[in-house]
């Protein structure tokens, strides 16, 4: 499917030319020459393929996805300018990346709507089989459901748009509860129409829809005051167990390549944004935006100031194999980075090439180095690596099942929950010897398994629906204001000593040390505490959207089905 993405996206643009008069900024559907576009099964398949492409998801996937998913969750440290506002939770509605995230997800919706509304009649008139038409509708509605799930978890009450002809003065927000029902109907339709085996690798399947239904019902169930909470927990458990027991899918076995191109569309990948090396916007930008420096990529790199938070580092067990593949710390050696091998050191001798950041660690996950490290699939240093971006993995469905078993309680001893929990930990080189899993155990496991994959914020949102005070205590307990200072009293060799990483030494400020020297690195006592409130958990509607569609400020209403 990847081989045709670039031409597909260019063709799809013919159906999505900009028009500032419309909310979704596309040509009204009655102006599209759809009859001459959906002329065959191949043409239908080509247009639905565009829905998976990083090019279509780029405004969401390139920056907003990791800023909101990882910085808001307290997993990724970064404090620069508007990007850093997500870490501090200090963003306002004029934040550029907030606007990109909103526009980017509605862009995906607009592509889906074009297919849902314009394709069936045109394809039928050209003799395309009903099987192909229904499968295409299933793909479009499944992906529209995913986009709306992301929108409502970030912005809560959002406009449900099904007709791209809508003008700005008609746009109103719909209640989150009715958005959930809209998403549910899209996923249910996809469940009934999509095949159990993808007809091309990377396509959504029956199991994609069922997996998202499990997560959706789990999210709905977490709203503890909802009368249907118990029923939604039961449905989440049923859908998740169905995937676990009947799909035939399995966890991917090689952590070293799980976020490399060779693992694309593996048996664990239920839905992923498909990335290619076709230029800016077509691929995975994280190899450039999150990697530490040019020694890793042999090209551009913008990740020197980014790193796993001290709280995330604290959460990893010393024997957890995932740690090494999630973030780099002093002394780590990676044979498949840097064009043939890279050793992470806090400092280089003259400090001109490498120096420490405030976390004493840098991002590893999704960073794939140079073209020599990944079969030429890192792109041309143009943010276009071809390793896919996961949005739903089988491991996620496994842990959704565990969470659904715990439901509104505090623990579970369910046999299947224990089995899948042990499977996930076993892949990480860890055991689980007790026959009980607590809610806190489950949350911690989710944080570690999906660290820096931009989905942990959604776990915190479910926690907030369940118990807001618990969610705020969890977030504020991370103490994201903690940062390290390099102690100039030590030379570069000492600052690269085997114990010179977080957790490897005792941090003592020189002013608290009777000898006056202090630790190799010490915690900065001058920074202000970052206090997170309930208001921080719902993103503001972008200012640009309010200007174009002032009606969006009206109180949200129920969507009329």
Q: Which DSSP string do the residues of 196-230 spell out, in sequence order? A: SS-SSTT---HHHHHHHHHHHHHHHHH-TTSTTHH
Whole-number Cα distances in Å, 284 to 64, 259, 425:
13, 11, 28
Among 211, 205, 175, CA closest to 190 = 205
Tokens 């800016």: give the residue: 280
User: DSSP string covering 27-53, please?
Assistant: --GGGS-GGGT--SHHHHHHHHHGGGB
Say how far apart CA 25 and CA 17 lie, in whole Å: 8
Residue 355 DSSP one-character state: -
Taking alpha carbons only, the member of 95, 219, 93, 100 closest to residue 152 is 219
Helices (H) and strands (E) in the chain, counts: 21, 12
Contacts of 419 (CB under 8 A, 6+ apart): none
The answer to whether the Cα torsion of 212, 285, 154, 552 is positive or negative is negative
What is the band of 30 on the pLDDT scale with cuts at 50, 70, 90?
very low
505 pLDDT tier (thresholds 50, 70, 90) = confident
Nearest to 187 by CA among 153, 225, 238, 147: 147
Tell me what the mean pLDDT of segment 45-55 comes to. 95
Nearest to 394 by CA among 215, 238, 232: 215
Q: Residues near 50 by Cβ (< 8 Å), separated by ≥ 6? A: 5, 8, 9, 11, 12, 56, 111
- Nearest Cα residue to 122 out of 27, 8, 37, 30: 37
pLDDT, position 465: 98
- The answer, yes or no, to whether residue 13 has pLDDT greater than 80, is no
pLDDT tens, position by position, 103-161: 999 999 999 999 999 999 999 999 999 999 999 999 999 999 999 999 999 999 999 99
Which residue has tokens 């900065």? 524
Encode pLDDT of 164-188 as tens digits: 888 777 899 999 999 999 999 999 9
407: nearest Cα among 177, 232, 183, 238: 232
This prediction has a pTM of 0.95
How far apart CA 279 and CA 381 sit, in angstroms, is 9
């Amino acid at each position: 499917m990847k081989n045709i993405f670039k031409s597909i996206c260019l063709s799809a643009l013919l159906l999505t030319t900009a028009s500032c008069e419309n909310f979704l900024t596309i040509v009204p559907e009655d102006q599209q020459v759809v009859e001459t576009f959906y002329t065959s099964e191949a043409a239908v398949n080509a247009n639905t393929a565009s829905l998976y492409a990083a090019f279509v998801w780029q405004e969401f996937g390139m920056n907003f996805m990791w800023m909101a998913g990882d910085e808001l969750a307290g997993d990724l440290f970064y404090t620069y300018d508007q990007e850093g506002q997500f870490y501090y939770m200090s963003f306002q509605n004029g934040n550029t990346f907030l606007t990109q995230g909103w526009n980017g997800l509605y862009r995906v919706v607009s592509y889906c709507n074009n297919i849902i509304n314009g394709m069936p009649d045109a394809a039928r008139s050209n003799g395309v089989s009903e099987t192909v038409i229904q499968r295409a509708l299933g793909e479009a509605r499944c992906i529209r459901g995913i986009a709306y799930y992301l929108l409502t978890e970030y912005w809560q009450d959002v406009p449900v748009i099904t007709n791209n002809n809508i003008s700005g003065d008609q746009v109103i927000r719909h209640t989150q509860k009715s958005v959930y029902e809209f998403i549910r109907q899209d996923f249910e339709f996809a469940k009934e129409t999509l095949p159990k085996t993808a007809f091309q690798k990377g396509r959504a399947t029956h199991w994609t829809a069922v997996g998202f239904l499990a997560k959706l019902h789990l999210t709905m169930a977490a709203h503890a005051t909802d009368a249907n909470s118990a029923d939604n927990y039961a449905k989440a458990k049923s859908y998740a167990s169905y995937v676990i027991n009947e799909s035939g899918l399995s966890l991917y076995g090689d952590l070293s390549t799980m976020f490399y191109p060779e693992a694309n569309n593996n048996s664990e990948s239920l839905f992923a944004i498909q990335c290619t090396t076709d230029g800016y916007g077509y691929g995975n930008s994280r190899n450039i935006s999150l990697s530490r420096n040019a020694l890793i990529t042999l090209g551009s790199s913008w990740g020197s100031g980014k790193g796993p938070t001290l709280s995330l580092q604290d959460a990893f067990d010393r024997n957890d194999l995932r740690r090494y593949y999630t973030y780099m710390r002093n002394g780590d050696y990676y044979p498949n980075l840097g064009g043939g091998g890279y050793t992470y050191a806090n400092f280089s001798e003259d400090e001109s090439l490498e120096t420490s950041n405030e976390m004493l660690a840098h991002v590893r996950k999704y960073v794939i180095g140079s073209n020599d490290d990944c079969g030429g699939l890192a792109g041309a240093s143009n943010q276009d690596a071809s390793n896919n971006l996961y949005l739903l993995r089988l491991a996620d469905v496994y842990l959704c099942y565990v969470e659904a078993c715990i439901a509104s309680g505090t623990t579970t001893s369910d046999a299947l929950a224990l089995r899948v929990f042990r499977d996930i930990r076993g892949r990480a080189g860890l055991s689980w010897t007790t026959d009980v899993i607590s809610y806190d155990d489950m949350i911690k496991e989710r944080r570690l398994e999906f660290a820096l994959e931009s989905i942990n914020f959604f776990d915190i949102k479910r926690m907030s629906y369940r118990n807001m005070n618990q969610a705020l205590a969890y977030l504020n307990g991370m103490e994201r204001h903690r940062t390290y200072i390099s102690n100039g009293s030590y030379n570069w060799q000492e600052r690269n000593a085997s114990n010179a990483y977080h957790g490897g030494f005792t941090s003592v400020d020189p002013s608290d040390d009777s000898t006056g020297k202090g630790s190799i690195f010490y915690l900065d006592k001058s920074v202000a505490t970052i206090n997170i409130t309930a208001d921080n958990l719902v993103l503001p509607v972008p200012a640009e959207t309010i200007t174009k569609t002032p009606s969006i400020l009206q109180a949200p209403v129920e969507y009329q089905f």
